[in-house]
Amino acid sequence: MLKFDFTNAFGENLSDGVRYEDIKGITGRLHSFLENFRQNPPGFSKVFSDLSHVDSILKMAERCKNFENFVLVGIGGSALGNQAIQGALRHPMWNSLPREKRNNLPRFFVMDNVDPEQIGSILDVIDPAESVFNVVSKSGSTAETMSNYLIVRGLLETRGLNPKDHIIFTTDPVEGVLRKIAIDEDIPVLDIPSNVGGRFSVLTSVGLLSAASLGVDIKKMLDGAQEELDRFKEEDDTFKNPVLLNAAIHYLYSQKGKSISVMMPYSNALYTLADWYRQLWAESLGKEKSLTGETVHAGQTPIKSLGTIDQHSQVQLYMEGPNDKVITFLRVENFRRKLKIPVIHQDRKELSYLCGHDLEELINYEQEATGLALLEHGRPNLTISFESIDEVEIGRFFGYYEILVTAMGFLYNINTFDQPGVELGKKNTYALMNRKGYESQKAHIEDLKKNLKTFKI
């Protein structure tokens, strides 16, 4: 079970912090959120216990296991969850392991950008004939994903390979161009639930196909998420409910000018979780307008750091720079590997204190030490502890943060589930690429550029 330590975030323990009484002052709003969630659960929370989609995912995964390479073609919510799962639960050098040491499971690659060098480098090291490509886009209109799909499709056709033998679509159950192509060409397809948005879709077919294909127990992940959901729904006391308490702390600190939320795992395996968290936090909470139409410019800027590495780069800023951050540490109580430090140079005081300890002790003491040092400098921080890194705990983390960000959106009184700022950028891209139907947007962009005072060197 995930454990939460909020000690270093309370104003009773640091200057100018959020105090117990401050949190009590918004318990009415927090309980309103809890009751509203119980009565009207958002779509993402329903998939934790709805296993109707799991059999089709597992069946598709069995087919994928026959390939040497599983290539995920997607971006944003269609890719980050996949990367977070693989980063946490698979060997960090997975693609370099011989196939027998991968339990005869595929290597894993992600086409999540349109950088020609990055995409080209993936194509350099895979054989299309030994690869399955999972194209993930709910709308089927995401420029980056569709461009990479077309490149993959062209490569398959050039090599004389039948696309339906090497491509799987994951898309909207009814609409979109991928759904139409799947029907017309008999390409295998998995559904993305219509009531689940991209950044909340990690525990749907979006994230679970690649996970199952690489041997992850996806049912255990769903069980973990459901356990965290039950824990949240069953606890009315704000100070015993980790979602409500964390939401209160982040919200109240944001009202005090703490506009940055740092996630700092003390584990390389959890670093990709911080990538997933950044999108969830930024797209869900960064909104110009409230639900009542007021200009609020809500949200915190999410930042990722890695302990202990960033103790030697970022922590100096966190400690003595602007006091505008809330820091969340991720800690692992039981690492999957043990490495003991040999007893050597005992006559050297600079080294002897390390002898006989293991790296698990060192990394966790470093995390504790950093948290206490931040506390002494008046910098709020909290710690989320994983008992171990496994499917259940990773599922709990996903479920917890999807609920937490929804609570934050409720407190900010914003729409947690839209992304109008992202949509404008997409429309501008369509216009610049001369997509049909965006002629007026192209004219608007040309007028805008004409009126700009340019400063170029």
Choosing from 144, 227, 228, 283, the catalytic residue is: 283
Task: Say how many C-beta atoms besides its own lie within 10 A of residue 454's C-beta.
Answer: 5
Is 423 among the residues known to form the active site? no
Encode the chain in three state secondary structure: CCEEECHHHECCCCCCCECHHHHHCCHHHHHHHHHHHHHCCCHHHHCCCCHHHHHHHHHHHHHHCCCCEEEEECCHHHCHHHHHHHHHHCCCCHHHCCHHHHCCCCEEEEECCCCHHHHHHHHHHCCHHHEEEEEECCCCCCHHHHHHHHHHHHHHHHCCCCHHHCEEEEECCCCCHHHHHHHHHCCCEEECCCCCCHHHCCCCHHHHHHHHHCCCCHHHHHHHHHHHHHHHHCCCCHHHCHHHHHHHHHHHHHHCCCCEEEEEECCHHHHHHHHHHHHHHHHHHCCCECCCCCECCCCCEEEECCCCHHHHCCHHHHHHCCCCEEEEEEEEEECCCCCECCCCCCCCHHHHCCCCCEHHHHHHHHHHHHHHHHHHCCCCEEEEEEEECCHHHHHHHHHHHHHHHHHHHHHHCCCCCCCHHHHHHHHHHHHHCCCCCCHHHHHHHHHHHHCCCCCCC
Q: Widest CA span of the chain, in angstroms?
A: 76
Choosing from 220, 289, 426, 442, the catalytic residue is: 426
Is 312 among the residues known to form the active site? yes
Choosing from 312, 349, 436, 456, the catalytic residue is: 312
Is 357 among the residues known to form the active site? no
Sheet containing 131-136: which strands, arranged edge to edge? 107-111, 69-73, 131-136, 167-171, 189-191
Q: Annotated active-site positions, please?
A: 283, 312, 426
